[in-house]
Chain A
Amino acid sequence: MSSIPASSFLLLAIILFCIGLYGALTKRNTVVVLISIELMLNAANINLVTFSKYGLTPNLTGHIFSLFVMAVAAAEAAVALAILIALYRNKPTILIDEMDDLKH
């Protein structure tokens, strides 16, 4: 198990974070932007779990915090989709750059 260097896990997390960031910045569909944000949170979770095994003082705290991140991500997704459905009822669009009612 110890033959895999820590940096390869961190590199994978960077790649996934960059894919998520690109998706969140370029996509126009609100659901896809939400999925991209979930991917970024997942990449952060990989880092937390990696440093709970590798590092100067490895312990279980990383596992605990990744569980907390999952709980917060689930709550965020539920509230965001509720907002999306409430918005869709008033204005039938799912494109995120047309949801600018508060701006005008």
Chain B
Amino acid sequence: MSSSGIVFSIIAICAILGGLMMITLKKVMHMTVAMILTYFSIAALYVLLTAEFVAVAQVLVYSGGITILMVFGIMLTYHKAENRDEEKVSSFRKLITFLSVATLGIVSYFLVAPVDFVAEEIFVGDHTKAIGEILYTNYIIPFELVSILLLVALIGAVLLAKKDKEEANE
């Protein structure tokens, strides 16, 4: 196995380990922290795929932003929630779900196993500059639409989460 293969194996094991910890841990806060391992592993995977800008964006948005958002969501609601109600999900339902998901995974594996594309050096030099140029020429309209979407989501989140006037008066 080559050196990059070993690096890939370590990253893949870390990513899957983080996912499995997210599934099996008892406390919600621990699950959220376990996901940071997966997010960082996926960022390392992007570096391996020579997508440095996407890797940095992954660390900023997921490990930084979304994890903090989830932690605040847990703390503002029921932060002592250990999954003691987890037993209410019947093990029969868990088994059925597991079998369905495993079937999906196995079928998808047989779909991707014959894929043998060769990696090509898509771009030599500064990826970030090239991404910026494409973003501001070919994809300028989706880029602006995303900015509007983020603005709408920001205003919507503030409106949804803030108290109503009658509620505040009570």
Contact A21 to B101, CB < 8 A, known contacts A9-B45, A72-B149? yes
Whether A26 pairs with B157 at a CB distance below 8 angstroms is: no
Residues of the B chain whose Cβ atoms lie less than 8 Å from the Cβ of A77: 66, 69-70
Whether B73 pairs with A7 at a CB distance below 8 angstroms is: no
Whether B23 pairs with A19 at a CB distance below 8 angstroms is: yes
Whether A84 pairs with B16 at a CB distance below 8 angstroms is: no
Residues of the B chain whose Cβ atoms lie less than 8 Å from the Cβ of A84: 73, 77
Q: CA separation between A66 and B58, bound complex, in Å?
A: 10
Would you list which residues of chain A between 19 and 38 have a CB under 8 Å from chain B?
19-23, 25-29, 31-32, 34-36, 38
Interface presence of B154 (CB below 8 A): yes
Whether A14 pairs with B119 at a CB distance below 8 angstroms is: no
Residues of the B chain whose Cβ atoms lie less than 8 Å from the Cβ of A10: 112, 115
Whether B157 pairs with A78 at a CB distance below 8 angstroms is: yes
Interface presence of B116 (CB below 8 A): yes
Q: Measured between C-beta atoms, what is the minimum distance from A33 to chain B in Å?
A: 11
Would you list which residues of chain B between 52 and 67 have a CB under 8 Å from chain A?
53-54, 57-58, 61-62, 65-66
* Chain B residues engaging chain A, CB cutoff 8 angstroms: 2, 4-5, 8, 12, 15-16, 19-20, 22-23, 28, 31-32, 35, 38-39, 42, 45-46, 48-51, 53-54, 57-58, 61-62, 65-66, 69-70, 72-74, 76-78, 81, 83, 85-86, 88-89, 93-94, 97-98, 101-102, 104-105, 108-109, 112-120, 122-123, 127, 130-131, 134-135, 139, 142, 146, 149-150, 152-154, 156-158, 160-161, 163, 167
Q: A32-B28, A52-B122 are in contact. List 16 more A-B contacts (CB 8 A).
A: A6-B117, A12-B16, A18-B104, A54-B115, A58-B120, A60-B122, A63-B51, A68-B146, A70-B61, A71-B146, A74-B65, A82-B160, A84-B77, A88-B77, A88-B78, A95-B85
* Chain A residues engaging chain B, CB cutoff 8 angstroms: 1-12, 14-23, 25-29, 31-32, 34-36, 38-39, 42, 45-46, 49-50, 52-56, 58-61, 63-64, 66-68, 70-79, 81-86, 88-89, 92-95
**Which 8 pairs, one residue from A and one from B, show the smallest C-beta to C-beta distance?**
A75-B153, A82-B157, A82-B160, A19-B19, A54-B117, A10-B112, A2-B119, A81-B73
